[in-house]
């Protein structure tokens, strides 16, 4: 069991007062999570004691820095049960990780007429890069439909697989609907059709116990900043044979084994895809975040979030004129996107902010999904390991204040 009051003490920002003295109620972890003291101190300690460039020096600081950087990679590999840390590639974020696959794998493996299957609930990060490649290579894009209750239409998916796509790329957990997609089944069916799979784990790895070997995922991407780590760093996991066959993504220092004036030989994994000076302190912070989450336990975090979303849906459904999008609590993560009759989502968010309540408003980088439901935007509240039922009650009270203000 997760002791949420003990957890909250680990996050200094949660003690902050905002909006005329109101206590901060942070309900925007789907956008970015808050950081525990352990992460903040790990990065601070790195800069105070061990800051140096990696893989390039033999002096004490360079060796310490390199060790910390690579130890973090080992921790991340264990966290997702990767067969080897060589298969964990540091990127700037999940978006860059998807682009790496698009440009390094997609450009070398896809040709005119090839089919790529995505879903209607994708974040723009898993739409736009494929659209760019499709325009460049004359690829065909097809989409698994989303049902009215916010689930993927798996019968339609099976029909798409009869067309033998080369790739199936999908979000594990929707950042709008909260839908937890059946990743293992989607991947199994894709492999039966001969397709490679990419899983956008930006909203699943921070909240669920994700095992890449159990999923049999070919590629998985996620970001540190959504899982109590720093911004500016993410991960691409890939199966070794795919990564080894892919050409480099970005050229420069550290991604080479040998350079001539007119040719080069790329480095081995993972360095082949990590050109230039990386986000070293951020990797140290990432490792500290993984240690923190592992110490609490991902099953405990997932159970706490199930409790939070079930309570939130019950309370939100009490409010007249409010509609929450997505499936029931047992099929979703800690995300509740909603509209309130007669009030623009941005107005809802601004008024809640006056009460110290931080939520998100907009299309959440998922415009096609909002168009699917015939709305321009939603207000989104999202929950993590440090949120409480009391904060959900404050959210509901705040929404009633919005209704009163708008009559």
What residues act catalytically? Answer: 365
Reduced to 3 states (helix: H, G, I; strand: E, B; else coil), residue 244 is: helix
The DSSP code for 364 is T
For 353, counting Cβ atoms within 10 Å of its Cβ (0-12 exposed, 13-18 middle, 19+ buried), the class is middle
Query: Would you say 170 and 186 are in contact if contact means Cβ atoms under 8 Å apart?
Result: yes
For residue 405, give both structure tokens. Answer: 């203000």
Q: Please count the residues of the chain.
A: 407
Q: How far is CA 114 from CA 57, 122, 191, 307, 354, in A?
A: 46, 20, 16, 43, 51
Vertex 272: Cα angle to 42 and 95 (nearest 5) = 65
CA distances for 17 relative to 228, 243, 367, angstroms? 21, 47, 33
| H-state helical runs in 183-279 | 183-192, 212-215, 240-245
Tell me if 104 sits within 8 A of 115, measured CB to CB: no
Q: What is the dihedral of CA 190, 108, 138, 116, to 10 degrees?
A: 10
């Amino acid at each position: 069991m997760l002791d949420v009051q003990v957890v909250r003490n680990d996050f200094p920002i949660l003690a902050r007062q905002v909006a005329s003295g109101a206590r901060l109620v942070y309900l925007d972890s789907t956008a970015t999570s808050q950081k525990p003291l352990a992460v903040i101190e790990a990065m601070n300690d790195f800069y105070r004691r061990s800051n140096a460039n990696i893989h390039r020096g033999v002096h004490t600081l360079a060796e310490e820095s390199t060790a910390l950087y690579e130890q973090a990679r080992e921790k991340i590999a264990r966290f997702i049960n990767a067969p080897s840390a060589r298969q964990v590639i540091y990127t700037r974020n999940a978006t860059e990780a998807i682009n790496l696959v698009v440009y390094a794998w997609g450009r070398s493996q896809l040709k005119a007429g090839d089919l790529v299957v995505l879903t209607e609930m994708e974040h723009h990060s898993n739409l736009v890069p494929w659209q760019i490649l499709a325009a460049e290579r004359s690829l065909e894009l097809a989409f698994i439909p989303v049902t009215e209750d916010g689930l993927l239409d798996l019968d339609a998916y099976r029909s798409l697989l009869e067309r033998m796509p080369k790739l199936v790329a999908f979000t594990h957990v929707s950042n709008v609907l909260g839908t937890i997609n059946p990743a293992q089944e989607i991947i199994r069916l894709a492999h039966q059709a001969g397709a490679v799979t990419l899983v956008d784990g930006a909203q699943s790895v921070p909240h669920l116990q994700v095992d890449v070997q159990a999923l049999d995922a070919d590629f998985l991407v996620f970001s540190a900043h959504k899982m109590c780590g720093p911004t500016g760093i993410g991960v691409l996991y890939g199966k070794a044979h795919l990564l080894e066959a892919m050409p480099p993504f970005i050229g420069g220092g550290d991604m080479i084994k040998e350079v001539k004036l007119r040719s080069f030989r790329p480095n081995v994994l993972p360095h082949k895809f990590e050109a230039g000076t990386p986000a070293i302190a951020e990797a140290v912070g990432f490792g500290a975040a993984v240690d923190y989450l592992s110490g609490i336990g991902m099953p405990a975090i997932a159970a706490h979030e199930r409790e939070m979303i079930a309570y939130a849906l019950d309370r939100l459904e009490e409010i007249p004129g409010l509609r929450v999008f997505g499936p029931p609590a047992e099929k979703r993560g800690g995300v509740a996107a909603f509209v309130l009759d007669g009030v623009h989502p941005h107005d809802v968010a601004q008024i809640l902010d006056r009460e110290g309540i931080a939520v998100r408003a907009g299309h959440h980088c998922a415009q096609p999904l909002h168009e699917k439901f015939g709305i321009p935007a939603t207000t989104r509240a999202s929950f993590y390991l440090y949120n409480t039922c009391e904060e959900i009650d404050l959210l509901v009270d705040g929404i009633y204040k919005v209704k009163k203000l708008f009559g």
